[in-house]
């Protein structure tokens, strides 16, 4: 399947994480929603993210070394779905500037909430497409 995905990641405690070229970033305790796309197959991309041992390639790989993925939401669509979704979530949630968006003009593709339920509610209410929970 081609389209966009959203990973929900839980951080149990505040963490300072070096994220590639973004450098050292302080992440608050709570839940993060990362919006990505996979035009060559969401299943393969999510499988990469689920691996505990991997080469750190994308910004999200650095966060996943410290956090736990709790949910995977997917939606079939085009590459633009990723950025439209990120822009809509960014209008309603705190974000980590520059995270996950080095190949587009978005402010961020990573969004924060103290609550998993709040993230999922906002995703369902304001996303450009219908995201379904895969995990």
pLDDT in tens, 59-102: 999 999 999 999 999 999 888 899 999 999 999 999 999 999 99
Domains in the chain: boundaries: 3-133
Please write down the HEC assignment for all residues of 54-77.
CCCCCHHHHHHCCCEEEEEEEEEC
pLDDT digits (tens, 9 = 90+) for 38-54: 998 899 999 988 888 88
pTM: 0.94
Burial bucket for residue 66 (CB in 10 Å: 0-12, 13-18, 19+): middle
Phi, psi (degrees; rounded to nearest 5) at 8: -100, 125
24-50 per-residue burial string, b: 16 or more CB within 10 A, e: under 16? ebebeebbbbbbbbbeeebeebbebbe
């Amino acid at each position: 399947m081609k389209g966009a995905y959203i990973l929900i990641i839980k951080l149990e405690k505040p963490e300072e994480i070096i994220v590639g070229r973004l450098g050292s970033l302080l992440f608050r305790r709570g839940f993060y929603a990362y919006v990505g796309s996979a035009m060559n197959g969401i299943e393969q991309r999510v499988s990469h993210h689920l691996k505990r041992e991997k080469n750190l390639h994308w910004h999200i790989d650095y966060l996943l070394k410290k956090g736990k993925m709790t949910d995977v939401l997917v939606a079939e669509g085009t590459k633009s779905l990723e950025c439209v979704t990120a822009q809509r979530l960014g209008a309603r949630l705190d974000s980590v500037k520059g995270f996950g968006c080095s190949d587009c003009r978005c402010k961020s593709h990573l969004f924060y909430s103290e609550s998993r339920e709040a993230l999922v509610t906002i995703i369902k209410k304001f996303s450009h497409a219908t995201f379904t929970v895969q995990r």
